[in-house]
Amino acid sequence: MAKTKSIHGEWSSRFAYILAATGSAVGLGNIWKFPYITGENGGGAFVLVYLGCVLAVGIPIMIAETMMGRRGRQSPINTLSTLSTEASVNKNWHYLGWMGVIAGVLILSYYSVIAGWASAYVFKAIFGGFSSDAMQVKASFDELIASPLQLIFWHTAFMIATMSVVMRGVRGGLEKAVQLLMPSLFVLLIILVGYAMTTGEAYFQGLSFLFSPDFSEIDSDAVLTAMGHAFFTLGLGMGAIMVYGSYLPSGVSIAKTTLFIAGADTIVALLAGIAIFPLVFANGLEPGSGPGLIFQTLPIAFGNMTGGWLFGVLFFVLLVFAALTSSISLVEPVVAWMVENRGFTRVKASVISGIAIWVIGVGVALSFNIWSEFKIFDKTIFNFLDDLTAKVMLPVGGFCIAIFAGWMMQQKHVKDELDMPEQQYQIWKFLVSYVAPAAVFLVFLHVLGIF
Ligand code: TRP
């Protein structure tokens, strides 16, 4: 029988959990990644596929992953061992926990570098203010990216910040940070959307780019990118939401909280898109210009608008915090495991995992400049890690989670944990047992050219 409480502590309330889990979901994925991959993949049709994946694949798997965490009450690795024993299935399922730990480490190693860009922009905003000229804004971004020293400096600062929050544990560290910051970020995005509306014709061009689908724009890789992003943006498939679920008090409705979190996450991403694409068109920029997109567009808005200095500073501060509340969820599975199985203190576990992630991150930072010619499978270190995690590891992890929750666990236990009205339960059960795994499987077959 599963324990009723986690040894690592519990969220103090339902609200605290919602904040932490929304903090994990809302991050660079929504504001930095969603716009640039939408730009690279032609807009509307990509957005539609992404929304479909969130609904049919992301939400059911998110419910499953949280449910498993709460039932197991331990780090994902040990939760999977416990649950496989409970369900009398093969113990090898705990390797799924291991894959998640590795995915978390790899994701954070590049996430921290990008969060470092955002941190650098806090200082650019404070000391330089932003230029309203698109060429100058771009030059300033290029200059940052070209400097190994600056990138490593900011990556280091961000990793130290992440690990010092993680050290303090569930309540002390994670909860407090999120309460004020999430709502503020939301308000600033609305202000940016307000600015985007002043671009006139370009505003409508931006909206039409985002919302009028042209399916000739997307191929199988775009579909995989959209599906991978649904996992990435919700923080699924590697145990982050599983470990957060393990700190969730019993009695809180997993389905309701999940719907709220996924809804908030999607709205933030769409708002970011609505803020950014009008600026892209108003300034004759390229929608597909890649990972630098927000850093080459938003400063123009801040440079132009009244109060832009203040809003610019605030925006990048909040972006860094949004990244921070996501990154702590990426290391929590490995830290929880080290505490459980190695008997480390949280501090020791945080330092060790932090250093390992930092080292990989240095490679990522250099892949934007002096190592840009160094390729793994024809990709830079950054692109390789991004593709390996978002397009392979997370979907595979999510697929396995769906299979485990839908086919391995006993119905009675699942129902016990979810405590949903029968009809809703049946809908979820159908989605998680058939729709979600089939969707992931077909997309993989399609990409491999088999289907
Ligand atoms: N969801 C976060 C974002 O969009 C990133 C993130 C946090 C994540 N936890 C995760 C991604 C777990 C994958 C898995 O920025």
Mean pLDDT, rounded, for 310-329: 90
Q: Please tell me the pTM assigned to this model.
A: 0.95
Q: Is the pLDDT of residue 71 over 70?
A: yes
- Residues sharing a CB contact under 8 Å with residue 131, sequence separation 6 or more, in sequence order: 137, 140, 299, 300, 303
Which pLDDT does position 338 carry in this prediction? Answer: 92
Mutate-to-test residue for ligand 1 from 31, 101, 242, 329, highest number of ligand atoms within 8 A of CB: 329
Q: Please say if the pLDDT value at position 3 is more than 60.
A: no
What's the mean pLDDT in 271-290? Answer: 92
The string of pLDDT tens digits covering residues 373-392 is 999 999 999 999 999 999 99
Instruction: Considering only residues 130 and 431, tell me which one the structure prediction assigns the higher pLDDT.
Output: 431
Comparing 66-70, 118-122, 143-147, 187-191, the range with the smallest average pLDDT is 187-191
CA of 230 to the centre of ligand 1 (A): 10
> Whose Cα sits closest to atom 14 in ligand 1?
235
Residue 74 has pLDDT above 50, yes or no: yes
Percentage of residues in the chain having pLDDT higher than 90: 76
Q: Which of 63-72, 313-322, 375-384, 425-434 has the lowest mean pLDDT?
A: 313-322
Ligand 1, residues 36, 38, 96, 107: which to mutate, most atoms within 8 A of Cβ? 107
Indicate the pLDDT class of residue 1, thresholds 50, 70 and 90: very low
Q: Ligand 1 center to residue 233 CA distance, Å?
A: 5
Angle between helices 220-234 and 394-403 (to 10 degrees): 70
The dihedral sign for the CA sequence 350, 102, 435, 210: positive
Percent of all residues in the chain with a pLDDT value above 70, rounded to a whole number? 97
The model's pLDDT over 173-182, given as tens digits with 9 standing for 90+, comes to: 566 667 777 8
Interatomic CA distance for residues 103 and 351, integer angstroms: 18
Report, as an integer, the average pLDDT of 265-286: 93
CB 436 within 8 A of CB 56: yes
CB atoms within 10 A of CB 106: 22
Using an 8 Å Cβ cutoff, are 122 and 317 in contact? yes
> Tens digit of pLDDT for each residue in 323-360?
998 999 999 999 989 998 899 999 999 999 999 999 99
Q: Domain-by-domain residue ranges, the chain?
A: 14-447
Q: Residue 448 above 60 pLDDT?
A: yes
- Ligand 1 pocket, mutate which of 24, 229, 266 (most atoms under 8 A from CB): 24
- The reported pLDDT for the residue numbered 2 is 45
If you ran DSSP here, which 8-state letter would residue 249 be given? Answer: P
More confident residue, 444 or 107: 107
CB 117 within 8 A of CB 369: no
Topology, domain 14-447: Amino acid/polyamine transporter I (1.20.1740)
Ligand 1 atom 12: residue of nearest CA:
235
State the distance from the centre of ligand 1 to the C-alpha of 136, rounded, in angstroms: 31
Question: What separation in Å is there between the alpha carbon of 34 and the centre of ligand 1?
Answer: 12
Cα distances (Å, whole numbers) of residue 231 to 220, 224, 267, 281, 301 = 17, 11, 16, 29, 30
The alpha carbon of 334 and the centre of ligand 1 are apart by a number of angstroms equal to 15
Residue 11, pLDDT score: 84
pLDDT top residue among 258 and 3: 258
**Cα–ligand 1 centroid distance for 234 (angstroms):** 6
pLDDT tens column, 31-65: 999 999 999 999 999 999 999 999 999 999 999 99
Residue 450 has pLDDT above 50, yes or no: yes
Q: What is the mean pLDDT of the chain?
A: 92
CB-defined site of ligand 1, < 6 Å: 24-25, 27-30, 107, 232-233, 235, 238, 240, 326, 329-330, 394
Which residue's structure tokens are 């309460």?
179
- What pLDDT is stored for residue 174 in this prediction? 61
Q: What are phi and psi of 376, to 5 degrees?
A: -115, 125
Pocket test for ligand 1, best of 232, 267, 332 (most atoms within 8 A of CB): 232
